[in-house]
Amino acid sequence: MNRRYRKTIIAGNWKMNNTLTQTKAFAEEIKPIMPRGKWCNVVLCVPATNIQAAVRLFKDCHIAIGAETCHYEEKGAYTGEITAAMIKDAGAKYVIIGHSERRQYYNETDFTVNKKVHAAIEAGLIPIVCVGESLEQRELGVTMELIAYQVKCALAGVAPEKVRHIVIAYEPLWAIGTGKTATAEQAGEVCQAIRTVIRKQYGAHVARSVTIQYGGSMNAKNAAELLAQPDVDGGLIGGASLKPEDFVQIIHAANQE
């Protein structure tokens, strides 16, 4: 983390978990144990049906709300989809874009990720853009090339002053939901490489302001070590964000000196 230049952001990704009733119960549980935000910003990305209620429920404890995806068009015949403007209107501040599960199961590509990034910014949302390599790609030794390609595609055509506020989440596919975390060195190395890509494209001023998270089995035990890496500015947390106590432990780790 480097709090001098950029925000530390701990974001939960609930995926397809928690009904409205369960969301209320989670809010009751986390409120009394939530650390009063010193440095780190806290976000929960929740299923679309919970956004509006979550905005209200988590307001007191300073947890901002995000969506888990959005469509790139402003409106139209896309049954089942929701627009970035709808998400913004429901009170959310963030939206996850290009999560590997969306890329794997819903044909999300680097091209649609780019269109969604533009749509999110246009609507006034902060995109949390996910990039990451598969185990095969890591073993082939193409991780850095692939990540650079994904980052460049996602940000293509975005103005530098907008890039400054985008969040990038490095999520190696082999670490998501597997309990197998990247080592702090691996996470730090790729997050640093992401910042270098941004520096080359947009300059040092922009690159040092971008929050780059690590995601993939981050938990209460390994968070501090991962966050100690200078280019790891937070986490995108799946499983451990479903348990208030574990999530709070990660927030504590991000608030350490």
Residues 8-37 touching ligand PGA, rule: CB under 6 A, are: 13
Q: Are 100 and 110 in contact (CB under 8 A)?
A: no
- The helix-helix angle for 143-155 and 184-202 (nearest 10°) equals 40
Task: Quote the least distance from Cβ 67 to ligand PGA, whole Å.
Answer: 14
User: Exactly one of 236, 248, 250, 254 binds ligand PGA (CB under 6 A); which one?
Assistant: 236
Residues near 200 by beta carbon (within 8 Å), at least 6 away in sequence: none
Q: State the catalytic residue, choosing from 99, 108, 118, 133.
A: 99
The type of residue at 66 is G
The type of residue at 186 is Q
The type of residue at 136 is E
| Distance, CA of 18 to CA of 242 (rounded, Å) | 8
Task: Quote the least distance from Cβ 163 to ligand PGA, whole Å.
Answer: 22
Residues 121-180 touching ligand PGA, rule: CB under 6 A, are: 171, 176-177
| Distance, CA of 247 to CA of 10 (rounded, Å) | 9
User: Exactly one of 132, 188, 215, 244 binds ligand PGA (CB under 6 A); which one?
Assistant: 215
| CB-CB neighbours of 180 under 10 Å | 12
Task: Quote the least distance from Cβ 16 to ligand PGA, whole Å.
Answer: 12
User: Exactly one of 218, 223, 232, 253 binds ligand PGA (CB under 6 A); which one?
Assistant: 218
The reply to whether 221 sits near ligand PGA by the rule CB under 6 A is no
User: Exactly one of 237, 248, 253, 254 binds ligand PGA (CB under 6 A); which one?
Assistant: 237
Q: Which is nearer to ligand PGA, 234 or 238 (CB)?
A: 238
The reply to whether 238 sits near ligand PGA by the rule CB under 6 A is yes
Task: Quote the least distance from Cβ 12 to ligand PGA, whole Å.
Answer: 9
| Distance, CA of 235 to CA of 42 (rounded, Å) | 10
Task: Quote the least distance from Cβ 171 to ligand PGA, whole Å.
Answer: 6
Q: Which is nearer to ligand PGA, 93 or 199 (CB)?
A: 93
- Which stretch, 114-122, 194-202, 216-224, 245-253, contacts ligand PGA (CB under 6 A)? 216-224
Which residue from 144, 155, 169 is spatially nearest to 120, judged by alpha carbons?
A: 155
Question: Alpha carbon of 225 to those of 1, 132, 209, 214: distances in Å?
Answer: 11, 20, 22, 12
- Which stretch, 25-33, 63-71, 85-93, 233-241, contacts ligand PGA (CB under 6 A)? 233-241
Instruction: Tell me if residue 171 is catalytic.
Output: yes
- Which stretch, 1-9, 21-29, 139-147, 232-240, contacts ligand PGA (CB under 6 A)? 232-240
* Helix boundaries (H) for 19-105: 20-30, 51-57, 84-89, 100-105
| CB-CB neighbours of 17 under 10 Å | 14
Q: Which residues bind ligand PGA (CB under 6 A)?
A: 13, 171, 176-177, 215-218, 236-240
**Catalytic site residues?**
99, 171
